[in-house]
Chains A and B, each alone.
Chain A
Amino acid sequence: MEYFIELFLSGLTRGSIYALIALGYTMVYGIIGLINFAHGDIYMIGAFTSFIVATVLSIYGFPMLSIIVLAGLAAAVWASAYGYTIEKLAYRPLRHAPRLSPLISAIGMSIFLQNYVLLAQTSDFLPFPELIPEFDFIEPYAHVVGSAEIVILITTALAMILLTLVIKFTRMGKAMRATSQDRMMAMLTGINVDRVISTTFIIGSTLAALGGLLIASHIGQINFYIGFIAGIKAFTAAVLGGIGSIPGAVLGGFVLGLTESFATGYVSSDYEDVFAFSLLVLILIFKPSGILGRAEIQKV
């Protein structure tokens, strides 16, 4: 039973990270219908930026709390700056191109970013400073749950609530929903669609950077390649929940996280990634619209 709870909690933790990244995929897909392949690499850049800032600050002897705040801020700022720039350089010129063109461009961007970080930094795994302290009250349960896991769960929940509020109640959120329903109509009602798309990329990138910071400080090491696998898995989560649907991305993230956690715990840990990929292939084959998604009707 204890093993079950441990697996369940670690599944939730994984799942919440997947959900954070999946939100970026799903929002971008909902608005411009593009699988932003480079999204996983934005997450990696977020993790790297926070790693650099946190390490520099800890070398210069800043207090722990300020390090957490500054590293988080830096990760969010730079990840969203990258997200914004990528959209402008690689996707905006292709908005009216055939469907495959922006996807190929996104794949290129992903490869570019990976190698950029590889060349600028290093190909080795880097030890990430432990940012989340061990709480005292968790001591008696330390064998099933770590304080990092609790922090991750709470932060993700807060981020998701905030996002829902933004999308439901702010002007920008309304504009986003309008754009995703019908871009042309939104333009005609005076919505600056370019700005909405940029904002979507910025929000998505911030969430991914948050995920990057949390998971990196939980696992304790980062590398230029973490974005690729995480990106694919988050995409799986987004598709699982129904791409384009925000609650779907969260649900998909948790389902994927739990599946992976139990599969590696009870079956075999060698095939961890195979489970995720197989799940992706199976959903796409049998229910491409996902759990909460609407089936796309093709009109002629």
Chain B
Amino acid sequence: MISLEEFKRSFKVALWFMFLTFPLLVIKVNPIERTVLWKWENMAFVGIGAFILSVLIRAFFIQKERSRNSSKNKRRFGYIGDEPLVQFILREPKYLYPLSGGVLIFALLFPALFDTYQTNIMTTALMYVVLGLGLNIVVGLAGLLDLGYVAFYLVGAYSYALLNYHFDIGFWMALPIGAMLAALFGIVLGFPVLRLRGDYLAIVTLGFGEIIRLVMENWNAFSHGPSGISNIPRPGFFGMDLSLDSAILYIYYLVVALVIITIFVVNRLQDSRLGRAWIALREDEIACQAMGIDKTKTKLTAFALGATWAGLVGVIFAAKTTFINPASFTFLESAIILSIVVLGGMGSILGVIFGALVLILLPEYLRVFSEYRMLAFGGILVVMMVFRPQGLIANVRRTYQFKKSTKGGDS
């Protein structure tokens, strides 16, 4: 099925990658002891790996070409008719309600089924679900690539930590304040950059995110610098002091509630006037303005609403870990959240949830691979863009469908 010519090409690709990775992967020098370690086995791995991958990709394309030429009505995996299975389930309440009910019950019973450690990991994953859904508003719906999303997360976390430190404000008071402050920052950031086109916007938001982190790192009098703020109290439960285990449980349910609220709100937003304005803005700015949509207001609300969720999660993050410092809010964090959105599918709620669970849980359970985590995140961004830009679970735009009546000719 693959010709010899193709194998030859794959062989050349393998040779090229062996050359490419030669100095960095093979030679390991120790400049202090002045020794050189030659790791030739790495070169062999790269060669074999590149060859196999290249052959697989070629086979994949040949297969795809062939299936396109052959009959179109062949049943494909994960599809019902022309429609992906996921979309089918989402469309039919008959399947959707029991299924989401089942997921909800599983989520509620999760702490009872697994131990505290697992619950803690799940809490983190669910926090990323909310972050992903928040970023999804900005990136997926409004089409504004925000690389400084973590700044709003930082604002939320620091507002709780500092308010608590100075004024002894509790978690429940801090939650709305953190969210509002983050939204305010979203507007402050959004306002000057509105005029910028997509790619410039990405860099400016990246710059803002870094500025806020660097200020937090250096302004010791305000933020306690790189050593951070410790002893942040966990959320109180009607004035009761909780033990560590029950506090973890409490935060878990809090985050589950937040996830449900977020899904509900984002889902409703998507189909609202505002949500449709975002999508229109993403597709064509000029046409959108010609239709009478206020560009400024629409973009700012996207920034503000996206930031709000980051602020909320920030407050919960501070309460969960009881210690924060600027090192938790680097650009890589933004990149992780972006990978979640891109992997899942920009604009697709289910996709983002799926993306967050995969990207956060998988490295936790595959400890062996955890050092390759960031490598994989980078790779995912590239691979997804090249092979499947719409994400794993693509968002399908609502369309009206005309069903041909079965009795023809009745008009």
Cβ-closest chain B residue relative to A78: B23
Contact present for A107 and B338 (CB under 8 Å): yes
Contact present for B210 and A55 (CB under 8 Å): no
Interface residues of B in 19-69 (CB under 8 A from A): 19-25, 27-29, 31-32, 34-36, 42
Q: Quick check: is A74 within 8 A (CB to CB) of the other chain? A: yes
Number of A-B contacts (CB under 8 A): 169
Contact present for A48 and B24 (CB under 8 Å): yes
Q: How close is B143's CB to chain A, nearest CB, in angstroms? A: 7
Interface residues of A in 65-84 (CB under 8 A from B): 74, 78, 81-82
Contact present for B200 and A284 (CB under 8 Å): yes
If A100-B198, A103-B145, A281-B208 touch, whether A228 touches B331 (CB-CB below 8 Å) is: yes
Q: Quick check: is B207 within 8 A (CB to CB) of the other chain? A: yes
Q: Which of B116-124, B301-309, B373-381 contacts A (4 or more CB under 8 A)?
A: B373-381
Q: How close is B33's CB to chain A, nearest CB, in angstroms? A: 10
Contact present for A49 and B24 (CB under 8 Å): yes
Contact with B along A110-126 (1 / 0, CB 8 A): 11111111111100001
Interface of A is mostly: helix
Chain A residues within 8 Å of B22, by CB? 78
Q: How close is A96's CB to chain B, nearest CB, in angstroms? A: 11
Contact present for A232 and B206 (CB under 8 Å): yes
Chain B residues within 8 Å of A117, by CB? 24
Chain A residues within 8 Å of B42, by CB? 120
Contact present for B374 and A115 (CB under 8 Å): yes
- Complex partner residue of B207 from A116, A280, A300, CB under 8 angstroms: A280
Q: Quick check: is A105 within 8 A (CB to CB) of the other chain? A: yes
Contact present for A103 and B381 (CB under 8 Å): no
Q: Quick check: is B89 within 8 A (CB to CB) of the other chain? A: no
If A56-B29, A129-B31 touch, whether A94 touches B386 (CB-CB below 8 Å) is: yes
If A56-B29, A104-B381 touch, whether A99 touches B199 (CB-CB below 8 Å) is: yes
Contact present for B386 and A90 (CB under 8 Å): yes
Cβ-closest chain A residue relative to B377: A111
Contact present for B385 and A288 (CB under 8 Å): no
Alpha-carbon distance between A101 and B42 when the two chains are bound, in angstroms:
32
Alpha-carbon distance between A95 and B378 when the two chains are bound, in angstroms:
19
Q: Quick check: is A102 within 8 A (CB to CB) of the other chain? A: yes
Cβ-closest chain B residue relative to A60: B36
Q: How close is B137's CB to chain A, nearest CB, in angstroms? A: 15
Alpha-carbon distance between A55 and B371 when the two chains are bound, in angstroms:
27
Q: Quick check: is A108 within 8 A (CB to CB) of the other chain? A: yes
Q: How close is B215's CB to chain A, nearest CB, in angstroms? A: 7
Cβ-closest chain A residue relative to B25: A120
Cβ-closest chain B residue relative to A85: B20
Q: Quick check: is A97 within 8 A (CB to CB) of the other chain? A: yes
Chain A residues within 8 Å of B95, by CB? none
Contact present for A35 and B385 (CB under 8 Å): no
Contact present for A284 and B203 (CB under 8 Å): yes
Contact present for A284 and B32 (CB under 8 Å): no
Q: Which of B78-86, B189-197, B360-368 contacts A (4 or more CB under 8 A)?
A: B189-197
Q: Quick check: is B147 within 8 A (CB to CB) of the other chain? A: yes
If A81-B19, A107-B147, A119-B372 touch, whether A56 touches B382 (CB-CB below 8 Å) is: no
Contact present for A56 and B27 (CB under 8 Å): yes
Cβ-closest chain B residue relative to A129: B31
Cβ-closest chain B residue relative to A108: B381
- The size of the chain B interface, using a CB distance under 8 A, is 59
Alpha-carbon distance between A102 and B198 when the two chains are bound, in angstroms:
12
Q: How close is B22's CB to chain A, nearest CB, in angstroms? A: 8
Alpha-carbon distance between A119 and B199 when the two chains are bound, in angstroms:
30
Contact present for B338 and A104 (CB under 8 Å): yes
Q: Quick check: is A136 within 8 A (CB to CB) of the other chain? A: no
Alpha-carbon distance between A232 and B145 when the two chains are bound, in angstroms:
17
Interface of B is mostly: helix
Q: Which of A16-24, A147-155, A252-260, A267-275 contacts B (4 or more CB under 8 A)?
A: A267-275
Alpha-carbon distance between A278 and B210 when the two chains are bound, in angstroms:
10
Contact present for A126 and B382 (CB under 8 Å): no
Contact present for A126 and B199 (CB under 8 Å): no
Chain A residues within 8 Å of B19, by CB? 81
Cβ-closest chain B residue relative to A99: B198
Cβ-closest chain B residue relative to A272: B214
Alpha-carbon distance between A85 and B16 when the two chains are bound, in angstroms:
9
Cβ-closest chain B residue relative to A48: B24
Q: How close is A12's CB to chain B, nearest CB, in angstroms? A: 24
Chain B residues within 8 Å of A281, by CB? 192, 204, 207-208, 211
Contact present for B29 and A111 (CB under 8 Å): no
Q: Quick check: is B342 within 8 A (CB to CB) of the other chain? A: yes
Alpha-carbon distance between A296 and B199 when the two chains are bound, in angstroms:
14
If A112-B382, A298-B286 touch, whether A103 touches B200 (CB-CB below 8 Å) is: no
Chain B residues within 8 Å of A235, by CB? 203
Cβ-closest chain A residue relative to B139: A100
Q: Quick check: is B141 within 8 A (CB to CB) of the other chain? A: no
Alpha-carbon distance between A300 and B287 when the two chains are bound, in angstroms:
9
Interface residues of B in 278-332 (CB under 8 A from A): 286, 331-332
Contact present for A270 and B199 (CB under 8 Å): no
Contact present for A45 and B211 (CB under 8 Å): no
Contact present for B192 and A97 (CB under 8 Å): no
Q: Quick check: is B335 within 8 A (CB to CB) of the other chain? A: yes
If A100-B198, A126-B31 touch, whether A120 touches B24 (CB-CB below 8 Å) is: yes
Q: How close is A241's CB to chain B, nearest CB, in angstroms? A: 15
Chain B residues within 8 Å of A110, by CB? 378
- Complex partner residue of B385 from A53, A94, A232, CB under 8 angstroms: A94
Cβ-closest chain A residue relative to B387: A93
Contact present for A74 and B23 (CB under 8 Å): yes
Chain B residues within 8 Å of A112, by CB? 375, 378-379, 381-382
Chain A residues within 8 Å of B31, by CB? 55, 126-127, 129
Q: Quick check: is B389 within 8 A (CB to CB) of the other chain? A: yes
Alpha-carbon distance between A52 and B374 when the two chains are bound, in angstroms:
24
Chain B residues within 8 Å of A115, by CB? 372, 374-375, 378
A104, A117, A273, most chain B CB atoms within 10 A: A104
Q: How close is B381's CB to chain A, nearest CB, in angstroms? A: 3
Contact present for A273 and B214 (CB under 8 Å): yes
Apart from A78-B22, A120-B21, list 9 A-B contacts with CB within 8 A: A55-B36, A82-B20, A90-B382, A111-B377, A119-B372, A120-B24, A232-B210, A273-B210, A278-B211
Cβ contacts A to B, 9 pairs, < 8 Å = A49-B23, A59-B34, A90-B382, A90-B386, A100-B145, A107-B335, A108-B377, A111-B378, A280-B207
The 9 A-B pairs with the shortest beta carbon distances in the complex, nearest first, are A108-B381, A112-B378, A111-B378, A115-B375, A105-B385, A108-B382, A277-B207, A270-B218, A55-B29
